[in-house]
Structure formats: C-alpha cells, structure tokens
Amino acid sequence: MWKQYRLGVVNHHTLALDLQSWWSRVRRREDPNSIVGGSCARHGGDQFWALKDVSFEVRQGDVLGIIGRNGAGKSTLLKILSRVTAPSRGEVRYKGRIASLLEVGTGFHPELTGRENVFLNGAILGLSKADIRKRFDEIVSFAEIDAFIDTPVKRYSSGMYVRLAFAVAAHLDPEILVVDEVLAVGDAQFQAKCLGKMQDVGTQGRTVLFVSHNMQAMRQLCGRAILLREGEIVVDGTPQAAIEEYLREGSRGAGCGSLDQLLRDLPADPVFRFDRIALRQHGRDVQQSVENGTALEVEIAYQVLQRTSGLRVFLDLYDDQGTLLFRSFNDEDGDGIPTVEAGGYLSRVEIPADLLAPTSYTLKIFATIFNVRTCYPDGISIPLRVERTGKANRAYPAEPIRGKLAPWLRWETITTSKGGTT
C-alpha cells in the first residue's frame, strides 16, 4: 500500500487533471497524478508520502500493535484499513466486519442521543435492532454513562464520548477491532478497563489492531508489533523487538555533542551553572549505550555562583514507561543541610555493575536548593540504553531478563537430604 497527500492544495490546479484522476478512480486504476515524477509533479504541488510500500498480513485472532513516532503513518494506515480513506496505490483485503475507534466521536452524530448513536453504529456494522437490544444494557453499563444515555452526544465531554464509543465498538462483536491512541483521553481506571476488554476480545478469536504510545499496554496486549518510520515498516516481529527499536530511535541524536550544546543553551541562573555531564565506563566517556556488567560512573561538573545553603545535585533514573526507579543525592552520606561556598565542583556517583536490566532508561540530572527551588525544573535528560554483558548462566541463552533491575544476588544451595530421606 502507498498513500500520498498533496500539501497546500486540494486538487490538481486544472479541470483536465481533476477529471483524469476522477476517471482513474472510477475505473479502479492507478491515479497517474499521484505518482512521483508523473504529471502531478510536473504541474506543481508538493507530494507527501504518508505510507510507502506497506505490506503485511494479519490472521484471525491476532492482536497486532502498531507503533511509531508522531507522523510515522500510523493513523493513516488505520484510516485506510477502516475504509475512511483509500490508498493511492495497492489494496486492502479483509474478511469480516470492522469496528473502528480512530478519534473522539468517530461515527457519532452530534445531534443524536447516546442511545440513538448506539443503534446507528450497530446498523452500520450490519446488526439488526434485535441484536443491538440484546447488547444495549451491557454497552451502557460498560460506558458508565447511564444517566446521560438519552442526552445528545454533542453535550458529552471527550471522556464520555470515548467511553460510549469504545463500549459500542467492543460489544457489537466485530470480527476486526481497530483502536487508535484515542483511549488516552479516558481516565486511568477506564483505560485499564478498556485494555482488559481488548484482551478478552483477542482471546475470543477476533482480530485487534491497536495503536498506542503506551509501551506497557503494547507488551501486555499484543503478540506481534509493527514499527513504522516515515511511512515504512522497519520492524515486523515481537512487541519487544519493535519497542526496543522504537526507543533506540527516540534516543538517536542525543549524544555528547548535543548534550554539551543543551548545557550551553540553558538560561542563566543566579546561583548555579552546569559545566559538563559525562557518563564513563572502562575509564572512558560513553554515550547512550552502556554495559550492564560494568559500573557506570556519572560525572557532573558545575559552578556555584554564590554561597548557598541546601544546594544539592541529584539524579533520577526512569524506565521506558516513565516510572521513577530511584533517586540519589550527592549529600546522602551527610548528617545535615550543606552550605556550599561559591566555586567550581565535580560530583561523581557510581551505579553498580549488574544492577540494571538490559533495556532502555532515561537518566535525569538536577540541581536543587532545599525547600527553595529546583534550578532547572525539567532536569537534563539523557537517554540510556543498557546492553547485556553482565553475569548470566550462558547455558540458558534464550532466558529473558524480566523487570527493570537485574541485580546479581549471591545464592547458596546446600544439600539437606540424600536418597529421598531427611
């Protein structure tokens, strides 16, 4: 499949080219004005390929995750699969009813009530009124909007829209359920409820296509994942493989050069200034990729511009879901609030070897004045990819490391009996 958009225009500037494109669509032929280098290029207008040579197969009962950065083509792909728009080249073949939840209010008429929209969506899916009535109470109960079901949906909040729209899409038994990032609009409790429902749908032999930036949900739900980059598939495999590449992609371009530039671009602070931040292993500077079998030294050089009480530097380590794993201050071994004189300082801290699991993290460096303020509230973010080089029984090469931390703990096993006797 290919999908092309033209930037800044909605037609081809001339009636002849518009008629040519229309006639091609009627005959189900390739549009000669949408191909790079064709008459479209010759007659002006910029082409933008949202999807380029995307090809894959999804079998019945599969739960497929689709991930990628903003603008990678995820929503365009789902709109084509849901028949909202047509591909510029190629085709989609499917078997069964498709229910889509692509954006807030998809398929709802704002002037109709929630009840009327449930029946409207069911009719679009080809269900009879009797079938919809059988499921109606379950839909309303799931959406938790009983008091508002006879209110026009134009008066619904975005969260209420999503609740009802997802309940309709999931409970009218489509063979294929297509869900975009729209679930992020709901509250945490409802998101968890939706994820549980999609798991149930997957175990019932129905097909789910799921787009999300929530990597934990992607791991939890999907048996396979596709990573899109600039409209092309770059990974089609396990969710873990796609997620790891997605996270590596996000950390590219954040090396030492850009970190130094980031420090130089920080606004002036009357008390504190970062001079340099470095990560070191084996006695040399490293960038985003480090080994889990070697201690990681974090080195922070800074200037204190005036005598300050309670000034500290500290680091936070976050996992790939944004969960804080630990925080460490440079004065943790002290017994009081430090008073720091003006001058230059170098603080070092060591993250022990064999502590971090081989996955992706974010390291954030901060400076704070106790009970007053944080000098740079967002901190200095450093993407960190930890590679597996530490201790592991190599007799089990396929055994995955689960969790975010993988400390090497000393075990002892002794014999307490022989021959089945104690």
Indicate whether 95 pLDDT > 80: yes
Q: What is the pLDDT confidence band of residue 393, given thresholds at 50, 70 and 90?
A: low
CA gap 385, 383 in Å, rounded: 7
User: CATH 2.70.50.60 region(s) of the chain?
Assistant: 256-387
Phi–psi pair at 311, nearest 5 degrees:
-80, 130
- Reported CATH class of domain 52-239: alpha beta
For the record, the structure tokens of 244 come out as: 């790891």
- List pLDDT tens digits, range 334-383: 788 889 999 999 999 999 998 988 888 889 999 999 988 889 888 898 88
Closest C-alpha among 74, 63, 345, 360 to residue 220: 63
Phi, psi of 293 (to 5 degrees): -90, 5
Q: Are 7 and 14 in contact (CB under 8 A)?
A: no
Give SS3 for 260.
helix
CATH value of 256-387 in 2.40.50.100, 1.20.1370.20, 2.70.50.60, 3.40.50.720: 2.70.50.60
pTM of the prediction? 0.58
Confidence of residue 54 (pLDDT cuts 50, 70, 90): very high
Nearest to 86 by CA among 21, 130, 169: 21
In the chain, where does the domain assigned CATH 3.40.50.300 lie? 52-239
d(CA 183, CA 181): 5
Whether the Cβ atoms of residue 74 and residue 211 lie closer than 8 Å to each other: yes
Give the pLDDT confidence of 176-193 residue by residue, as tens digits: 888 887 666 666 677 777
Strands (E), 182-295: 207-211, 224-229, 232-237, 272-281, 284-286, 289-291
Q: Summarize the confidence of residues 305-317 as an average pLDDT.
A: 93
Nearest to 178 by CA among 136, 210, 132: 210
- What are residue 122's phi and psi, to 5 degrees? -60, -40
Whole-angstrom distance, CA of residue 267 vs CA of residue 388: 38
CA distance 292 to 216: 22
CB 198, CB 190: distance < 8 Å:
no
